[in-house]
Structure 1
Amino acid sequence: MIEFKPMTRNIGAEVTGVDLRKPLSEDEVHTIRQGWLKHKVLFFRDQNINDEEHAQFALRFGDLNIPAFNKDQSSAIHRLDQVDPKGEGGDEWHSDNTFEPEPPMGSLLRCLVIPSVGGDTMWANACMAYEALSPPIQRLCDELTAMHDITGSMRKAISKGHKYDLAEMQAKWPPYERPVVRVHPETGMKSLFVNRASTTRLVGLSDRENEALLPYLIDHIRSPEFQVRLTWRPGTMAFWDNRSTQHYAVADYTERRVMHRVTIAAFDQHKA
């Protein structure tokens, strides 16, 4: 029987009673989805699956999304093989690919190789971050939009030696305006939807107003009561809701760390 063991009071649960190497029934998929919506990020331990099984599990929840950063645009598997990740962008609080017109609904990250110490990942409950704002700030944020831009992330990747054509990526993914407060299409919950990796400014506000408000909103997600932290081991997979969370890859290691990730397309493209 599938069970969920909460990791903190506000976000994250470890899932037991499921073997991802085996086909899942519709009831099992429904149970996992409901647990995912409730806890916002799920952790599966001791799942020694391959890339095909990884992708097939993701497909039970929606169409696959191929991220802009994938060098191989024919593969849904994004391979993260890092030794010195500091400053590459994962070590900032963010939701995945918010610069896209339709950011992914969710991501499934699987651990293959982990350093002897370090390399944890943290997630934060963006719904709780919104709820913790005072009512006047909530009302202000409800009316605001913000620009999301790939440029900052690309410049960081290029500075770390990754081979990308900045102008080509900017042409493919021009800046996109989206609400500061996102309404979850399944739960109806509101979440704070700005992040340091991609959000460049609040639309309609002056420079001084942006300098005061945007950093506050971005940093607000760092409150510990919103967060859960995972220590990886090979065979662990995390499945998070990109619409209601942000995450942070702790860049505290200098040994090899290998992760494979699959992302799921936006909800309006969902097949179920």
Structure 2
Amino acid sequence: MIEFHPVTKHIGAEVTGVDLRKPLAPEEVATLREGWLRHLVLFFRDQHIDDDQHLQFALNFGTLNHPAFKKDSSSPIHVLDQTDPKGEGGDEWHSDNTFEPTPPMGSLLRCVQLPSVGGDTCWANTYLAYETLSPSLQRLCDELTAVHDITMSMKKAISKGHPFDLEEIQAKWPPIERPVVRTHAETGRKALFVNRASTTRLAGLTDRENEALLPLLIDHIRSPEYQVRLRWRPGTMAFWDNRPTQHYAVADYTERRRMHRVTVNAFPEHQDGA
């Protein structure tokens, strides 16, 4: 029987009673989806699966999202293989690819190899980040939109030696404006939807107003009571909802860390138009 064991009060649960090496029955998929929507990020321990099993599990929950940039464009598996992660972009709070016309619904990240110490990942609940704002600030945010731009992330990657063509990428993904507060298509709850990696400004506000308000909103999700921190082990998989969460990859290691990720888009009936 599938069971969910909460890790914190507000976000994260370990899942037992499921073997990801095997195809899931429809009722198992439904149970996992309900638990995922409730806990926002699920942790599966001791799941020593291969890439094909990883992919097949992911496709129970959405359609394949092809990451905006990765080394091997022919594979649906995005390999994150790092020994020097500081400043790569994962080490700041973010939601994945909010600069895309339709940001991915979620990601399934599997641990393959770890450094001897370090390499944890944190997630934050952005429902709570919105709900704990004052009512007056909530009303203001409900009316605002923000600009999301790939440029900041790409400049960091290029500075770390990645051979990306900035102008080509900017042409493919121009800046896009989207609501500061996102309503989840499946739960109906509102979440704060700005992040340090991609959000460049609040539309319609002056520079001075942006300098005051945007950092406040971005930093608001850093409160520990909104967060969960995962200590990985080989064979651990995390499956998170990208819509009401942000995550942070702790860059505290200098040995090899190798993770495999599949990113999924929402099925049409679960899209919210953000």
Specify the TM-score bucket, using the shorter chain as the normaliser. over 0.9
Equivalenced residues, count: 271
Q: Deviations over 1:62-93 (max 9, x none)?
A: 10100112233332211100001000100000
CA contact (8 A) 2:146 2:177 kept: yes
- RMSD over aligned CA atoms reads 1.1
Partner residue in 1 for 2:45: 45
Q: TM-score with structure 1 length normalisation?
A: 0.98
- Match of 2:52, SS state, is helix
Residue 197 of structure 1 and its aligned partner are, at CA, apart by 0.1
Alignment of 1:41-80 (within 5 A): 41-80=41-80
Amino acid at match of 1:103: P
Deviations 1:170-223 (A, max 9, x none): 011100100000000000000000000000000000000000000000000000
Instruction: Give the whole-Å Cα distance in 1 for the aligned partners of 2:186 and 2:134.
Output: 25
Q: C-alpha deviations, 1:116-141, integer Å up to 9, x for none?
A: 11000000000010000000000000
User: How many Å separate the matches in 1 of 2:46 and 2:172?
Assistant: 38
What displacement does 1:269 show? 7.0
Q: Secondary structure at the match of 1:168?
A: helix
Q: Hey, what does 1:168 align to over in structure 2?
A: 168
Structure 1: distance between partners of 2:25 and 2:145:
40
Partners of 1:42 and 1:142 in 2: CA distance: 29
AA paired with 2:7? Answer: M
Aligned to 1:260: 260
Aligned equivalents of 1:190 and 1:12: distance in 2? 18
The equivalent of 2:111 in structure 1 is: 111
In the alignment, which residue of structure 2 is the partner of 1:83? 83
Cα distance in 2 between the residues matched to 1:267 and 1:199: 25
Q: Does 1:158 align with 2:158?
A: yes
| Structure 1 CA distance for aligned equivalents of residues 173 and 73 of structure 2 | 15
Task: Tell me which residue corresponds to 1:185.
Answer: 185
Taking the aligned partners of 2:200 and 2:130, their CA distance within structure 1 comes to 19
Q: Percent identity?
A: 78
> Is the contact between residue 149 and residue 176 of structure 2 (CA under 8 Å) also seen in structure 1?
yes
Paired with 2:100 and 2:249, the residues of 1 have a C-alpha distance of 21
Matches within 5 A, 1:1-272: 1-268=1-268
Q: Counterpart of 2:130 in 1: which secondary structure?
A: helix
- After the TM superposition, which parts of structure 1 deviate over 4 Å for at least 4 consecutive aligned residues? none
2:253 partner letter? Y
Q: Distance in 1 between the 2:213 and 2:56 partners?
A: 42
Tell me, in whole angstroms, the C-alpha distance in 2 between the residues paired with 1:266 and 1:18: 23
| CA–CA distance in structure 1, aligned partners of residues 56 and 165 of structure 2 | 32
- Structure-2-length-normalised TM-score: 0.97
- Cα drift, residue 270 of structure 1: 6.1
**Residues 3, 15 of structure 1: 8 Å contact kept:** yes
Look up the SS of the partner of 2:171 in the other structure.
helix
CA distance in 2, matches of 1:203, 1:259: 36
Q: CA offsets, 1:208-262, max 9 Å, x none?
A: 0000000000000000000000000100000000001000000000010000110
Structure 1 contact 63–269 (Cα < 8 Å) conserved: no
**1:60 and 1:70 mapped to 2: Cα distance?**
23
Structure 2 contact 146–199 (Cα < 8 Å) conserved = yes
SS in 2 for 1:42: strand
Q: CA deviation at 1:142?
A: 0.2
Q: How far apart are 1:149 and its partner, in Å?
A: 0.3
Instruction: Provide the rounded CA distance (Å) in 2 between the counterparts of 1:225 and 1:259.
Output: 27
CA distance in 2, matches of 1:44, 1:141: 35
SS of corresponding position for 1:178 = strand
